[in-house]
Structure 1
Amino acid sequence: MKVSYNWLKDYLDLTTAPKALAEKITRTGIEVADVAQKSAGLKKIVVGHILSCQPHPDSDHLNVCQVDVGEDEPFQIVCGASNVAVGQYVVVALPNSRIADNVKIKKGKLRGVVSMGMICGLQEIGFADSVVPKVYVDGIFVFPEAIEPGTEVYEALGMTDYIIDLDLTANRADALGLHGVAHEVAAIESLTPHFEDVVVTESDVQTADHLAAYVADEQLAPSYHLRMLQNVTVQPSPMWLQTRLWNAGIRPINNLVDVTNYMMLTYGQPLHAFDADTLKGDHKQVEVRLAKAGEKLTTLDEAEHALTHEDIVITDGHQPIALAGVMGGLNSQITADTKNVIIEAAVFEPTAVRKTAQRHNLRSDASSRFEKGVNIADVQTALDAAAAMMADLGHGQVTAGIISPTNLIPSDKVIEIEADRINRVLGTELATQTIVELLERFGFGVANTDNRLTVTIPPRRWDIEIQADVIEEVARLYGYDNLPSTLPTGAMTTGALTPEQKALRQTRHTLEGAGLTQAISYALTTPEKARQFTLVDSALTALDWPMTQDHAHLRMNLITGLLDDAAYNVARKQTNLALYEQGRVFLKQTDDQVRPTEIEYVAGLMSGNRQTKTWQTAAAPVDFYTIKGVVELLMTSYNLSDPISYQPTQAYPEMHPGRTAAIYVGKQLVGFVGQIHPAVAKANHLKETYVFQLDLAQILALPTQTVIAKPAPKFPAVTRDIAIQVASQVSNAAIVEAIKAKGGAHLASVELFDVYAGSHIEAGEKSMAYTLTYLNETATLTEEEVNAAFEKVVAELVATFDAKIR
């Protein structure tokens, strides 16, 4: 909520400076995000009057203007805006001025013609596109009335006003209107707010003779009211109204629509205006009901929406003309030709409004207020104030009477609480009279009977419900920093990580030591992505009311999130990637399971080069063995008792069928590693990419072994190399297993150092070369011992794999 300091002063006799006031507001419980003044940093920007405007001699789109800027002689300024014309009062940045972003404007030449400054659009002096009137979005701004040339523009455009940006929590919707903020500031500053009485001058025409309203179900709109104006003139709003709107972040439209937004900002009560002549029939009819199947509505943003039976709509008795509490329809909007207007003020069912806004992706200022609640005591007051102002600005007549098919009668809430309880909760020793005075500063009625307080809460503070709320009001006005502080007492427990927490932290350290960077992805995704890369079959977990359709289901894997991260980086020319994510996936055995089981996973992704090209090294791309090495390093760090194995698999359709391995610990599947399928890579705009995914919950539950450090051996090792020719389908794992089975007690390690297939090797076969290392930790190995063990290995390889020794 952006609060104008000058507007606030209309209701309060404020003397506190804006920044000091913002500090006080923050200390009492409403955070102030920023205090800003649009004119800050601007220099030498004035009002100019265009005296003449001639085409540039050397351009088809530039104009040479003579502009009165309050000096003895007019300034010649070259302007390229399409809407520049003689007689306009415009914004002029003089030579050596400073405009938005600290840009300096100098005297210069444009295609040979001297230009003494610049005629500006509002964006060029710091206004956002979203608040600039549409007619001036693509051109210069023109003041609607004459202003003395040479006058600085800041005051006329409301730029000297300080804007206090309140970061409101959902329970403080009462501060979504200036009246609510005024009450809050009045309590802080010990002031009394003064609001003008609303007076509506009605014509002799009875509203009921021209308009009827119906509410199909009172729960949809428990309070619904309509007023009608006739013979209005639609035109731009006066400058004071436009400045208040754009300072609040709202674009001025015209005098009628602007009044509805102004009243929303004033009272926190959204209003809507319909062009009465667009409704069917001589006797206009407005009905509030649920939408019917197949109905559609094009809203003011020109988007068409297919309605559901859960949407509350406003109709003219035949077709929808607005989504209740969210946005009006294009078919009943206020236009330049509008003559008769229907104004709506209502209280709609909050949950239905919120769901409609989410369903149709139509979050608006109105829906935000209806979701959080509005002051039912101000519904008709805001309606009357809007009607009176529209009649004034639009030169129309307000018909007599309000149409109210439903009406909520506002009532005060009464909460009883003992002063001793307030002091006990806050740890204070405040006198009862002090507590009474603090509550009365909020405008609450307080009766004291033997230190038992009866607190009367007006309807404008619908967030106050229970005793704790009253205690909070006392605390924040008394000052949180004034509350006494004490240290906790009792036995202290030394904090420590659980074994699972230690293992998770070790996982992160291991992967980061291997060169991977942690990524954190959304746990919510699409159903298609949720079903990909799954280790086990699982039912989907859907959110009842997701914020967006792309985040409607809980993930069942971590890889799709990493692919999104990779695609984001690749789109920004970052192609050498090594990422990992540790987090939870959400699995359900059946659709009927209410809550999913949360399982800890870890996943990694590598793409691009693992080694970049330099003057002395060639680029080395990531391959299967690069990421498998990372997985082996990680799995080794868990010190598992059972052996770890990697077996080729085609069980994952999103993975490359020939470059994917399932990871087993003993006979238990714990994950997979490999290259993603080229089709998946192409869909994500990625080149060759490798991933792994492990079920950490399973891995951490497996038995482990203690690693015992050994001293360096005292005796030398002996190595033997062997090259064998075997069938192509024989795996390295099978050969290593056979070597270890017959290698003898002194075989320390087996390392593959060469694989070859090609010329001089028969088709369907390959050559594999190994280094066998023998070591006796208690004595020196003899040549005879090593040769005997080595010959057994050779014999086993020949017998088992029909190997040819090379």
Structure 2
Amino acid sequence: MNISYKWLNEYLDLNANKEITPEKLADRMSRTGIEVEDVFKGETGLKKIVVGHTLSVVDHPDSDHLHICQVDIGEEEPTQIVCGAPNIAKDQKIIVALPGARITGNAKIKKGKIRGEVSNGMVCSLSELGFSEKVVPKKYADGIYVLPAEAVAGEEVFPYLAMDDAILELSITPNRADALSMRGVAYEVGAIYDQKPIFIEVVLTEDSSVKAADYIQVEVENSVDVPSYNMRIIKDVKIAESPLWMQTKLMNAGIRPINNVVDITNYILLEYGQPLHAFDYDRLGSKEILVRRGKKGEVLVTLDGEERKLSEENIVVTNGEIPVALAGVMGGLDSEIQEDTVTVALESALFESTTIRRTAKEFNLRSEGSARFEKGINTSTILTACDHAAQLMVELAGGTIVSGVVSKNVLKPMDSSLNITLDRINGSLGTAISSEEVVAIFERLGFGVTHSEGLFDVTIPPRRWDISIEADLIEEVARIYGYDNLPSTLPISEATPGMLNENQRLVRHTRRYLEGAGLSQAISYVLTTPTKASQFMMRESEATMLDMPMTEERSTLRMNLLSGLLDDVRYNKARKNQDVALYEIGRVFYKVAGKVLPLEEEHVAGVMTGLEVTSDWQQSGKAVDFFTVKGVLEGLLAMYGFTGSISYQKAETLDGMHPGRTALILLDGEEIGYLGQIHPLRAKEYDLKETYGFEINLQKVMDAPKAPTIYQTIPKYPGMTRDMALLVDETVDNQELTTLIKAKGGKYLQDVQLFDVYNGEKIEAGKKSMAYKLIYLNPEATLVEEEVTLAFEKVTNALVETFHVVVR
């Protein structure tokens, strides 16, 4: 919410202390619980912009839309300016940017000629002074802004448009909805600076010869939906522009001025936090107002011109038969205030907050009024705000207030009471505040308080409906006393040594290993789209959807990590980072039949694309391939120390993966993950080229039995190696050969390494050559040649017998 410093000064004497600058006020407010995100003045960066008076306006001889204007800018002679605004006319007070002026966007105005005619400056619209198009008054949306006749030519324009006012942009949390009004903020600032805000008392002038009950009757179908509904009638109004002071207050708050009647309702909304709605009484088509739930099939065209299909979830205001407003959200187009309106039916009500929120979300129609109904309003000013608005319509629109208020379910707000002890306050805050200080703080907040022997009986007015429990009172004392003044103390508790459990230790080792292998950690969104959630899945499951997602892009809990990593790679590639290696450790979520909450499972996944080794003067670049990723995973899986054996199996049907370059990872025959190339069509969906990835069920890794880590001395006896080259069928893979070699290699076989694969013209069709190095070692004695030869022959014979290899 935007707060005007000058408007606030109407309730408080901020000038009494010259140190209360807008910037220092913002700092104090932020340190007492209401964050001020920014302080800005509209005139910042602008200069040499003055009031001008058009003495004459004639058409440009060489243009069908330009005008040559003689403008009084407070100098001895008028100046000539060429202007193309459709609404410029003689004897107007306008905004003029002089030569050398700076307007929004730091644009500089210069003297020049436009189609042969001299132009000494520029006639400005409000948007050229930095006002957002959405707040420019409707009347001047397509032209220049016309100032009131009392504006003095030659004077700076900023004071007239309140651009010299400091605007504080507040970030209001839901629990402090009382600060969604100027009066609420005035109470807050008054408490900070120990001042009591002063509000001008509204004196209502009613026409006692007529009664509102003769004009309208009000009925409410459900008092839970509508705890209070009130209506006043103001007749003989004349629709016109609002005075400039009201327009500038609305624009600075981010609201577009429309006309005097509508602007008054918005002004009261800002001052009291009470939403009001003005109906054109003659366009209601009835003397009855019925507030009820919508009916299926009913339609309402709202003020924005959109047709809304209503349901039983919506509260609507009707003329007894058809809806005329979407209660608490937006009025209907058929009953809006127009230029010929003469009688206004003014609504001031309280609607149930949850229903208003649902309606606003259903129609994507969030308004200033609905935001306040959702968070709560001050029930003690429902009628006061209505009376003030009615009186302003007398003063600014020449109306007459018909006597009486037609009400249904009139609320009688009551003060609430809470008790708290001094020991409880000091014990919670760690302070030694005296009873007198606590009483002074409650009084500054405008609370009634009595004190006896360390017990405070605190009376809270209805305007602070957020205070309901003892802890709220403690927070109020802490805020006003000053969080900076609270002592820094350490909690007193028994010290316990910290340590990681086995699963935490495994996750940490996994992270360190992958980072050592060159991958960087990424953290992706848990929520994604339904399509991405169901990609690369390791088990069948339905998606877990959010009931009320903020966006469709974040509507479903993920069931894989790989799709999120591919989004991260796409983000990097779009920013010219071509060589990317990322990993993520996180949870995926599977739906379980019969259970409300999904099953959460820990996974680890990685993605690599681009170059594994970059080019330099010593070597050529090497692109990431299947074996790059497999090598990373082999080291990672070896680090875990499984008692079981790891093997790889070709996978041709895994969703989103290349059918010829993907393998399942098996632990004792059970699938724990997969690795391979992302299918080119899937990679294209993410705007990627050749990309490789893996995903492992880390939960299964955690649950799998592991051998203890045993440290041994470096063997002092030398080992031996034997090489073999085998001619085998193309259908035989390395996994099968390696498994057999290790099984038949004997107790001294330490490792088997594949160092060459050949498949070319010199080998018969359907065959391939595979060369292995077998490493033997006896840690307790020197190996004997005969032992190694015998073991090597057993391996050779087993290979010939099982796979019909030819030893080359």
TM-score (normalised: structure 1): 0.89
What's the offset of the Cα at 1:266?
A: 0.4
Instruction: Determine if contact 1:718/1:781 at 8 Å carries over to the other structure.
Output: no
Aligned amino acid, residue 551 of structure 1: R
Q: 1:645 aligns with which of 642, 647, 652?
A: 647
Aligned amino acid, residue 626 of structure 2: F
Q: Deviations over 1:669-711 (max 9, x none)?
A: 2222233444444444444443322222221232233163653
For the structure 1 residues 50 and 673, does the alpha-carbon distance in structure 2 shift closer, same or farther, using more than 3 Å as the test? farther
Instruction: Determine if contact 2:92/2:149 at 8 Å carries over to the other structure.
Output: no
Kindly report which structure 2 residues correspond to 1:398-547, keeping only aligned pairs within 5 A, or say none.
398-547=401-550
What's the offset of the Cα at 1:4?
A: 0.9
Q: 1:6 maps to what in 2? A: 6
Q: 2:771 maps to what in 1? A: 770
Instruction: Determine if contact 2:674/2:694 at 8 Å carries over to the other structure.
Output: yes
Q: 1:70 maps to what in 2? A: 74
* 2:351 aligned with 1:351: no
Q: 2:255 maps to what in 1? A: 250
What's the offset of the Cα at 1:378?
A: 0.5
Q: 1:193 aligns with which of 190, 197, 200?
A: 197
What's the offset of the Cα at 1:191?
A: 1.6
What's the offset of the Cα at 1:51?
A: 4.8
Of stretches 17-26 and 536-545 in structure 1, the one that deviates more from structure 2 is 536-545
For the structure 1 residues 708 and 479, does the alpha-carbon distance in structure 2 shift closer, same or farther, using more than 3 Å as the test? same
For the structure 1 residues 185 and 774, does the alpha-carbon distance in structure 2 shift closer, same or farther, using more than 3 Å as the test? closer
SS at the partner of 1:460?
helix
What's the offset of the Cα at 1:389?
A: 1.9
What's the offset of the Cα at 1:205?
A: 4.1
For the structure 1 residues 65 and 707, does the alpha-carbon distance in structure 2 shift closer, same or farther, using more than 3 Å as the test? farther
Instruction: Determine if contact 1:713/1:777 at 8 Å carries over to the other structure.
Output: no
* 2:271 aligned with 1:286: no
Q: 2:326 maps to what in 1? A: 323
Q: Distance in 2 between the 1:77 and 1:715 partners?
A: 99
* 2:557 aligned with 1:554: yes
For the structure 1 residues 232 and 704, does the alpha-carbon distance in structure 2 shift closer, same or farther, using more than 3 Å as the test? same
* 2:278 aligned with 1:273: yes
Kindly report which structure 2 residues correspond to 1:100-119, keeping only aligned pairs within 5 A, or say none.
100-107=104-111, 115-119=119-123
Q: 1:178 maps to what in 2? A: 182
Q: Distance in 2 between the 1:44 and 1:108 partners?
A: 17
Q: 1:96 maps to what in 2? A: 100
Of stretches 114-123 and 581-590 in structure 1, the one that deviates more from structure 2 is 114-123
Q: Deviations over 1:2-42 (max 9, x none)?
A: 21111011111223222222233233332222222222333
Aligned amino acid, residue 12 of structure 1: L
Q: Which runs of 5+ in 1 are unaligned?
A: none
Aligned amino acid, residue 669 of structure 1: E
Q: 1:694 aligns with which of 670, 676, 696?
A: 696
Instruction: Determine if contact 1:190/1:441 at 8 Å carries over to the other structure.
Output: yes
Q: 1:580 aligns with which of 579, 583, 589?
A: 583
Q: 1:739 maps to what in 2? A: 741
Kindly report which structure 2 residues correspond to 1:560-639, keeping only aligned pairs within 5 A, or say none.
560-569=563-572, 576-590=579-593, 592-610=594-612, 621-639=623-641
Q: Distance in 1 between the 2:354 and 2:788 partners?
A: 81
* 2:56 aligned with 1:28: no
Q: 2:674 aligns with which of 657, 672, 675?
A: 672
* 2:235 aligned with 1:233: no
Q: 1:380 maps to what in 2? A: 383
Q: 1:216 maps to what in 2? A: 221
For the structure 1 residues 518 and 424, does the alpha-carbon distance in structure 2 shift closer, same or farther, using more than 3 Å as the test? closer
Q: Distance in 2 between the 1:608 and 1:390 partners?
A: 70
Q: Distance in 2 between the 1:758 and 1:112 partners?
A: 82
Instruction: Determine if contact 2:415/2:461 at 8 Å carries over to the other structure.
Output: yes
Q: Deviations over 1:466-509 (max 9, x none)?
A: 23322332332223333444444454334444433333233333
Instruction: Determine if contact 1:747/1:772 at 8 Å carries over to the other structure.
Output: no
For the structure 1 residues 630 and 162, does the alpha-carbon distance in structure 2 shift closer, same or farther, using more than 3 Å as the test? same
Aligned amino acid, residue 261 of structure 2: L
For the structure 1 residues 666 and 48, does the alpha-carbon distance in structure 2 shift closer, same or farther, using more than 3 Å as the test? farther
For the structure 1 residues 618 and 254, does the alpha-carbon distance in structure 2 shift closer, same or farther, using more than 3 Å as the test? farther
Of stretches 596-605 and 423-432 in structure 1, the one that deviates more from structure 2 is 423-432
Instruction: Determine if contact 1:639/1:707 at 8 Å carries over to the other structure.
Output: no
SS at the partner of 2:525?
coil
For the structure 1 residues 495 and 93, does the alpha-carbon distance in structure 2 shift closer, same or farther, using more than 3 Å as the test? farther
Aligned amino acid, residue 520 of structure 2: T
For the structure 1 residues 626 and 359, does the alpha-carbon distance in structure 2 shift closer, same or farther, using more than 3 Å as the test? farther
Aligned amino acid, residue 690 of structure 1: Y
What's the offset of the Cα at 1:790?
A: 5.0
Instruction: Determine if contact 1:725/1:805 at 8 Å carries over to the other structure.
Output: no
Q: Which runs of 5+ in 2 are unaligned?
A: none
What's the offset of the Cα at 1:223?
A: 0.7
Aligned amino acid, residue 71 of structure 1: E
User: How many correspondences in the alignment?
Assistant: 801
Aligned amino acid, residue 478 of structure 1: Y
For the structure 1 residues 747 and 343, does the alpha-carbon distance in structure 2 shift closer, same or farther, using more than 3 Å as the test? same
Instruction: Determine if contact 1:756/1:766 at 8 Å carries over to the other structure.
Output: no
Q: Distance in 1 between the 2:640 and 2:368 partners?
A: 54
Q: Distance in 2 between the 1:499 and 1:180 partners?
A: 54
What's the offset of the Cα at 1:45?
A: 2.3
